[in-house]
Amino acid sequence: MPARRRLVAATNNRDKLREIRCILNGCGWELLDLSRFPSYPEPSESGLTLTENALFKARVGFIRTGEITLADDTGLEVDALNGEPGVISARYAGENVTYRDNVALLLRELRNVPESRRAARFRCVMALVGPGMEQIWEGVAEGTILSEPRGENGFGYDPVFWSPELQKTFAEADPEEKNQVSHRARALASLKGVLLRLK
């Protein structure tokens, strides 16, 4: 039986890794995380866009590991906040903050905004970089920001992100449900087809 090809996921976020592993399950690739490369810290996200950050992390990963590298950057865009927190979603409340800190700040910023004006979307950009190859994919999940958290699953802003497709928050959905409609799953759908062809 031929050995599976290897793919590096250039992130230290365990929650993202779990989702990526689940979504890419069955594509025939061995997914390596950065714990396999202890001398390689995850690059900083200093780009002005999700695409810049995803490509930068994937390029650095490929250069440092020699393996085809996958990287993503994801942002929550809230219309009433002119698209914020966007590219700084993970650092919205500051550096080294918790998911809860970010959610709390978001709810404070929206405290006087009625439900009818709380439209938002998760946007995910996935980048794949390898020998002679750079490709990107984008996935979007539309929804609304609730006034208080609901649900115990998921991570990040999932407890306040109401999905009209699921009729529940991402944190109320089980992983299989979320992975049918999430921004990350949509970005990975086309990428999975590429991996199957490359295998």
Examine the residue annotation and report whether 72 is marked as an active-site residue of this protein: no
Q: Which of 72, 73, 101, 174 is catalytic?
A: 73
For residues 187 and 126, the answer to whether their CB atoms sit within 8 Å is: yes
Question: What residues act catalytically?
Answer: 73
